[in-house]
Chains A and B, each alone.
Chain A
Amino acid sequence: DAGVIQSPRHEVTEMGQEVTLRCKPISGHDYLFWYRQTMMRGLELLIYFNNNVPIDDSGMPEDRFSAKMPNASFSTLKIQPSEPRDSAVYFCASSLRGAGMGGYTFGSGTRLTVV
């Protein structure tokens, strides 16, 4: 398996523009997570899905952020409109609950810069 795949790796956009981040989890994993990492706040959970259903979105900062998981192999995180304070590295991770092995697998992240 190629692991968790995120795209793009880097994104630079102007304030007010829409940004869409993409994630392909490991095949067979039933949990998918979106995290944001900044120097000030560390790693924060934004939202997670179980079997494509959003379970906890309490970490989504505001209505400008939305996430979808239309099928087991694809998820998106959208920011509209983007703001400079959204600049961060966004990680996607997947896991298989109850497997007892391997824990969570993270993607390489998308570094977002909003100017």
Chain B
Amino acid sequence: KQEVTQIPAALSVPEGENLVLNCSFTDSAIYNLQWFRQDPGKGLTSLLLIQSSQREQTSGRLNASLDKSSGRSTLYIAASQPGDSATYLCAVTDNQGGKLIFGQGTELSVKP
């Protein structure tokens, strides 16, 4: 059974810092991996999607990497801003491209 773990559960940093969020998964037979952002009381916003054949994806200040063989992904946020404060969720799709399995998320707080 696929399990997704995110470390740390919560993170507080001062504005301007670069930071890394970690995600690990137990079954490497995935179709893709996706990072989401969730603001309090809101839905999920897709940030980055990495296909199983890819190593990384970049969007603005965000960079996500994928090492399928070791079952790990990282989300790198450069020059963090207070507006980055949210919960970040990692999710993997099973090999049939069907269901998403989510981690518990990392709650990020960026202090001005």
What is the interface of chain A, defined by CB distance below 8 A to chain B?
31, 33, 42-43, 45, 48, 50, 55-56, 91, 93, 97-98, 100-109
Interface residues in B70-112 by Cβ distance below 8 A to A read 89, 91, 97-105
With the chains together, A20 CA to B101 CA distance in Å?
25
1/0 contact string of B25-44 vs chain A (CB within 8 Å):
00000001010100000111
6 additional A-B residue pairs with CB within 8 Å, beyond A102-B46, A106-B44: A33-B100, A42-B105, A43-B91, A97-B98, A101-B49, A107-B43
Contact B99 A45 (CB under 8 A): yes
Q: Are B99 and A33 in contact (CB under 8 A)?
A: yes
CB distance from A97 to the nearest CB of B (A): 5
Task: List, in ascending order, chain B residues with CB within 8 A of A103's CB.
Answer: 32, 34, 46, 49
Residues on A with beta carbons closer than 8 Å to the beta carbon of B97: 97-98
B51 is an interface residue with CB less than 8 A from chain A: yes
Q: In the assembly, what is the distance between CA of A104 and CA of B103, in Å?
A: 16
